[in-house]
Amino acid sequence: MTVSHSGKPVIDVDGLGIFYRLQQRRRVSIKKVLLGGGFRRDAPLLWALRDVSFRCHEGEILGVIGPNGAGKSTLCLALSQILTPDEGEVAVSGEVSTLLSLGAGFNRDLSGRENIYLNAAFLGISRAEIEGKMQEIIEFSELGEFIDQPIRFYSSGMKSRLGFSVAASLEPEILILDEVLSVGDHAFQQKSRRRLQGMMDRSRVIVLVSHSVEFLRELCTHALWLEKGRVRGFGAAKEVLDGYLAASTTEPVQE
């Protein structure tokens, strides 16, 4: 199932395959590892992705859905050029901003304010740029006086809210988000979605990974359905998501 589109794609994935070698249970000495004998080349392979192909054009919002272990996060890492394909090719035309984990890179001994600078650097935002947006970030996070307290006193929800507030200051060309909108209470989630919509309006292509069919249905133009590392459906969002929902209610759960 494909959707025709004219013009050069912003994201072009052709036959993508990425595997991991399964760890060996037997003990291996450090000497053997250093001498190159610690890892067997015939160790079993786990293909996280295999024969994955799709294209995204300017103005599209791609939702990626599938059960746990389908390869969704691995795909994000490949699109972000963090992982190199073992098979096939990934071509991305433009600067990529990736948010895979809210608050990644936070230092628990630094204050929320200090961690804004740290997290911004992790996301590739300059100090000068973040200083101009500092007050906006703090107000959006709704952390109040906690902003000057060490992160170790924050709940996981507070850290996620701060992480999203920093990420929301991005002005991305190609934006990749992996399960980042389960942040805070309902009111904060709605505010986060409105901010995300503004980010989308300024981006050429958006890739959203989520388990929420309704969320993807609301925002996406296209959808990619992954299962066991392979493409089970790709095309117009409504068609793919309807197919995914139908399958999830009729097929037995895979343990």
23: domain CATH number is 3.40.50.300
- Domain assignment present for 163: no
172: Cβ–Cβ under 8 A, 6 or more apart, which residues?
95, 96, 97, 199, 202, 203
* In the predicted structure, residue 175 carries a pLDDT above the cut 90: no
Structural domain of 248: 1-94+204-255
Confidence of residue 114 (pLDDT cuts 50, 70, 90): very high
- Domain assignment present for 172: no
- Domain assignment present for 154: no
- Domain assignment present for 226: yes
- Domain assignment present for 109: no
Confidence of residue 171 (pLDDT cuts 50, 70, 90): confident
What is the DSSP secondary-structure string of 101-148?
STTTT--TTSBHHHHHHHHHHHTT--HHHHHHHHHHHHHHHT-GGGGG
Helical residues (DSSP H) of the chain, grouped into ranges: 30-34, 72-79, 112-122, 127-141, 156-167, 186-201, 213-219, 237-250
Strand, helix or coil for residue 182: coil
pTM for the whole thing? 0.76
209 against 38, higher pLDDT: 209
The whole-chain average pLDDT of the chain stands at: 85
Give the pLDDT mean for 40-54. 85
pLDDT tens-digit readout, 220-253: 999 999 999 999 999 999 999 999 999 988 765 5
- Domain assignment present for 245: yes
What letter would DSSP give residue 179? S
Which amino acid is located at 98 in the chain? T
- Domain assignment present for 166: no
Number of domains in the chain: 1
- Domain assignment present for 8: yes
